[in-house]
Structure 1
Amino acid sequence: MNPKLTVITPNYNKGDAVIQCVQSVLNQSFEDWEFIFIDDGSTDGSFEKAIESADGDERCLFLKNTTGIKGGNASRNLGIEQSKSELIIFLDSDDLMMENCLMDRNRDFEANPDLDFIVYPMGIFNDTIGDSDFISNIPTSTPDLHRFLDRDVVWLISGPIWRKSTLESLGCFDLSLHSQQDYDLHVRALIVGFKYRYIHKSPDIFYRQNTESLPRKSSQSVDHFRQRFQMILRHADLLAGAEKLGKKERLLLARYILDIAQMMRWHTKTLGKNALKEALEMWKQTYDLGLVDKNKYGVGYSYLRFKHNMMYNRLGFLQRYLEKSFRKNLGDYIFSPVNFSCRVKLSDYARN
């Protein structure tokens, strides 16, 4: 008989943190689960430590990523393929579950059989649970899709519990992305219109914030900017196909592209003049796709040339004047980072 629930954990060089992660699964009050742990070529002995910490529990399956494609998304997709249950939760190998997590989430799904996924907040910690009282995010009156498109990440990788069939319908994780794979998956689920519910309660999974990962280290690289740009274009296409590409969605997509294009200036040393050229080509797509009108395209074009011209760094007064002028003319097309994601507390929900 197949288990009711699968926990899928990708791992790469998480050291001793994997021991706590595995133990948090073994300590679950709900026992009808399988645990699939996929290692992505670790060199620090963490794969062996994870196996040892499971102490031969037959519900645990330890695999190595042999797909030929490195990265957490390839490992998660392998886990989905290998899973035998109807419900799936993703747990990173340095994160932790509370002992009633699986019991509560399984019960919520049994009470809501019409849903495709259910979402919960994640707690944040550094070394031990309780050393931070922040959570991943809180509900607001703004539609979740709009918040994601505006990079106000409403939930993190372990926030949802999924139906396996829902993940398969989405095509699982996008293997072309080296970062923001979970962001992309969540946006696609919202565009498609899968039925879900957000349950705001005390966190039952905790995200370890003080560890480093390859995606975090390289998230500002040229390749990551290019991948992110292509991701936005795919989202635009999906929105258009779902007849959801309205005025607000166009603004948010164009804003994201403009922000990536202006950040390409960070790579002028390696790309030379091609950094500006590529940035302008990215921005041109917003006009070609009808995300901006001719006037906003022209202002954005000039803005990118300004941002990429390092000469203005030596002319502080002129730089500040032009920056202020462009921001006024571009208005909402200028991205201003939100303060919600991983910067709120459970009690903050009462004020929204």
Structure 2
Amino acid sequence: MSRLLSDLGVELPVLAAPMAGGGTTPDLVVAAARAGSMGFLAAGYKSAQLLAEQMRTVREQDVLYGVNVFAPNPVPVSFDAYSRYARTVQAEADRYGLRLSDSVPKEDDDDWSAKVDLLAESPVPWVSFTFGIPDSTVVRALRRAGSRVLQSVTTVEEARLAVEAGADALVVQGPAAGGHSATLTPDRPIVPVSLPDLVAQIHGAVTLPLVAAGGIGTSADVAAALQAGAEATMVGTLLLRTDESGASAPHQRALADPSFDTTVLTRAFTGRPARGLRNAFIDRYESSAPAGYPAVHHLTAPLRKAAAEAGDQDLMHLWAGTAYRGAEQEPTERTLRRLTGGL
């Protein structure tokens, strides 16, 4: 068993990734743990109070788990660029009786301080961060509380910064990952690179244990990442159709629908690069979407919610990594065991 898996206290070299926005549920996290893996509650887009409730739910099941937090790394958007985009997408909002074109940019930090305070007061085995690298004082406080810290990185440079901040291990996220990229520079293009190559690059540059994530769909993908230098892997998209998933019904249907035949990186929904199934909204608005997170996320959120409730797959975000065809309707345990078969 690798040092990291021993530290984690888990058997399987495939962990359950945090999926903010509803995909990850307490039931999914518990199911992963009972399969010999470990899952991460997604703190993103929820209040510290709701996160605390979900932590209590999982803790009551006496299983190992982690919590993933969005570390502040805002991409400000000018009022003019924001207003121009708001007026552009208003045509879609009209059908749901929503008024977006009069809104003003909302810049927030996703309840950052309250979540850090919660995790310091009610420590969990692992805390992971994405979008930004927290100050070393935050890392030290969490470690004093008894947590170990995972930092998501997408380049060698980011890995070195995470080492300087005091991270215990790194999640190496390749560009094939579904949902938001963990990049620290979301206003710059994402550089194409295979996950094994990225793992090998970072493995050669730092000494921290690595968890490989992004585009993993088969046991062969897991094996390739481990061979490149990772001590474990992490999957998210493949769990979106499991029995314990909280992904919406339209999202789950789209993952198995042959008419959705490719994924693309887009900032049309949130102003930050994220990979999802290509649909009409992306085709119409990717070219005009400004970089601007979280303001653009807040702008389109009511439209995406209304579209999801109406089952309108053309106007909602359908986050998915490139291996989305491997997502099956089955228990989480079966998916995780399937990915580790033969290892």
TM-score by length of 1: 0.28
> Rg bigger for which structure?
1
TM-score by length of 2: 0.29
